[in-house]
Amino acid sequence: MGGELSKITFYGGVSEIGGNKILVETENGSVLLDFGRRMGYTQEYFSEFLQLRSRNALRDMIRLEILPKIDGIYAPHLVDATVLFENPDDKEKVPVDQAPDYWKFNDVRPCDSASPAVDAVFVSHAHFDHIQDVSFLDPAIPVYCSKATKVLAKSISDVSETHVDDQYYEIRKKTTIKQKSTSYKTFCPGECEYAEEKETDKPIIEDEKTKFKFTHECTPQYRTFQTDSEGQVKGITYKMIPIGHSVPGACSILLTLPDGKRILYTGDLRFHGANEMSIDEYVEEIEGPVDIMITEGTRIDKAKVLTEEDIATKISSDIEKAESLILIDSGWKDLTRFKTIYDATKKDERKLVISPKLAYLLYEMHVNFSEEYPDPRTMPNLKVYLKREGDLLYSKADYDTFKMGYLHFHGRNLAKSDRNIVRIAERLGIGGDPTNNANPLPVSCAGEPYDYKEIYDLATHHLKNGIKAYEIRENPEKYVLMFSYWDANELFDLIPQTPDNHKTQYICASTEPFNEEMEIDETKFMNWLDFFKVKYESEIKNEKKIFVRKHVSGHASKSELKELIDKINPTKIIPVHTTELASFKDMFGDKIIFPKYAEAIVV
């Protein structure tokens, strides 16, 4: 890569919403601006019941053109599975020679970890259409983002299963392909399988929140994150500018190339949220002329500008008028909307009941940004909803990790000497094995940031303090429950079999569907609400019944974008993350450069 002239190549976000992957190359180095999932394009092939083949994901996705053919950036074992064979002779057990394309994608050169072809990937924010495909990049390529984006990426990873395409923060355990031992009690001894590499000594790793050292099966691996807001990467000077969006930590990226040219990548942005940067403040942060402005244009065709203040007024009014339980739908990562709903709930002297995932995120944000985010455990009028999980008994045995409380890992628990939550319970005399004489924990934890009881209480907080459906049923008018289609089964528990005109009301405060699958889910959700006689506002649009939404977009409107671009006055404008290219041409004429997929633009 490189050359005498700098260039920009677009591998996503071209005439589509999301999936931004922008490669900026100079003579000395190169960087990526986002590496997100092409959500709409991916959903043309995959669905809830047809998922990626985990062991072949990268190669399949390159073949489908969901991922681009870029040399020197992808983890070698994802490009070529044959590098994982522990013993070269084991290859004879599988048809490597008969079908070489099963195992290796020959059109793409894998990353050399000692010398990656890209020096950094800048992530503008933690929505999947901007961060998810970082999962396939070699870990040698560092991730540059705001601290809040790193915390959010960690939180999402902590409360999710780590699939092959969910490794934007934590990286899966190392695996090899080897023969099953002939001593195994198995039908197929000696046959090949993927096996996780084991560590002889079980590592003891300090938990970031509590500083308690938990025993692990193997050492967790994480990507390298750089959160300094300004700096240099191989002669490219960068500045990350905080912006408003529907998740915390969003930023624009301003690059100054070695030849002095300045490139502004807006990422997704808005100026109508609560307490967010104004257009004038944003322009002031840029500090000078811009040669190329790569701008999102999701709502370039939308003139209407709603503010979060407008939404707050509507939600407050709906809550005030409601006679019984309120169900309200909002994205769990949108902490601006959470605050809007929480304030409206508190004003009406109700309790807001949230999911364990949202509670976990709020606590992570509190730990890292205590002045901005209070401890959710101490917030008045806030409760965590405890679903009937597992065997539906409300038994402690029905729950695990973050669904119990604020820890996502309780420690390895295969030997009495392991350091884990069971050993803590033993030390406190409230659980575990009271006859265990091999508890490795000191009697005293003096000097530690958290004592044993605090750690145990964090791990089990929701079991002790959460609220259950039958408790909400006792006084439904006292609660607002955050609720989505994926919680629809809870209606069985929330609404009695012989309801006495329960008057439950649903408020939609989330984004509109952006693909056919989401439209189908919305129709199914209405079926659930109708069956249980839950009231909601609806309207007919394009001959379809849809929810009336109390929602403000995470993207700038037409008037906001025009004002922003006029004030920056860039030499050239490249629109991405939009399907409305004609609107840009009408507004900005010859300044517009329309990118083409995988075709470099010289700058």
Choosing from 501, 525, 547, the residue where a domain stops is 547
* C-beta separation of 305 from 458 below 8 A: no
β strands within 165-235, DSSP E? 170-171, 175-179, 192-196, 204-206, 213-215, 221-222, 225-226, 230-233
Is the alpha carbon torsion for 352, 357, 358, 362 positive or negative? Answer: positive
User: Are both 498 and 580 inside the same structural domain?
Assistant: no
User: Are both 587 and 493 inside the same structural domain?
Assistant: no
Task: Confirm whether 15 is domain-assigned.
Answer: yes
User: Are both 325 and 390 inside the same structural domain?
Assistant: yes
**Amino acid 180: pLDDT:** 85
Looking at the structure of the chain, the number of domains it has is: 2
User: Are both 361 and 506 inside the same structural domain?
Assistant: yes
- C-alpha torsion angle, residues 84, 90, 93, 96 (rounded to 10): 50
**Amino acid 4: pLDDT:** 65
Task: Confirm whether 176 is domain-assigned.
Answer: no
Adjacent-strand bridge partners of 98 = none
Q: Domain range spanning residue 145?
A: 7-53+115-169+231-299+558-602
User: Are both 343 and 388 inside the same structural domain?
Assistant: yes
User: Are both 236 and 164 inside the same structural domain?
Assistant: yes
Cα separation, 599 vs 501, in Å, equals 62
Give residue 590's identity as a one-letter amino acid code.
D
User: Are both 314 and 291 inside the same structural domain?
Assistant: no
User: Are both 391 and 253 inside the same structural domain?
Assistant: no
β strands within 274-430, DSSP E? 292-296, 326-329, 351-354, 382-384
User: Are both 152 and 260 inside the same structural domain?
Assistant: yes
Buried b (16+ CB within 10 A) or exposed e, 184-200: eeeeeeeebeeeeeeee
What's the DSSP call for residue 16? S
Query: How many Å separate Cα 527 from the centre of its chain?
Result: 29
Task: Confirm whether 406 is domain-assigned.
Answer: no
The predicted model scores a pTM of 0.95
Task: Confirm whether 74 is domain-assigned.
Answer: no
Residue 357, domain CATH:
3.40.50.10710
User: Are both 543 and 562 inside the same structural domain?
Assistant: no
Residue 590, domain CATH:
3.60.15.10
Cα separation, 582 vs 573, in Å, equals 13
* C-beta separation of 256 from 241 below 8 A: no
User: Are both 389 and 475 inside the same structural domain?
Assistant: yes
Task: Confirm whether 264 is domain-assigned.
Answer: yes
Q: What is the DSSP string of 496-512?
A: -SS-S----EEEE-SPP
Cα separation, 180 vs 188, in Å, equals 8
**Amino acid 170: pLDDT:** 96
* C-beta separation of 173 from 196 below 8 A: yes
* C-beta separation of 358 from 332 below 8 A: yes
Residue 62 structure tokens: 């390159």
Task: Confirm whether 415 is domain-assigned.
Answer: no
**Successive 10-residue mean pLDDT values, the chain, 603 residues:** 77 95 96 96 90 95 96 97 92 90 94 97 97 98 98 96 91 91 76 89 92 93 97 97 96 97 97 92 96 96 88 96 96 96 96 98 97 96 96 95 96 92 93 85 84 95 97 97 97 89 93 84 96 94 90 92 96 95 93 96 95
β strands within 311-432, DSSP E? 326-329, 351-354, 382-384
Task: Confirm whether 145 is domain-assigned.
Answer: yes
Give residue 232's identity as a one-letter amino acid code.
Q
User: Are both 321 and 378 inside the same structural domain?
Assistant: yes
Task: Confirm whether 210 is domain-assigned.
Answer: no
Residue with tokens 């939609």: 508
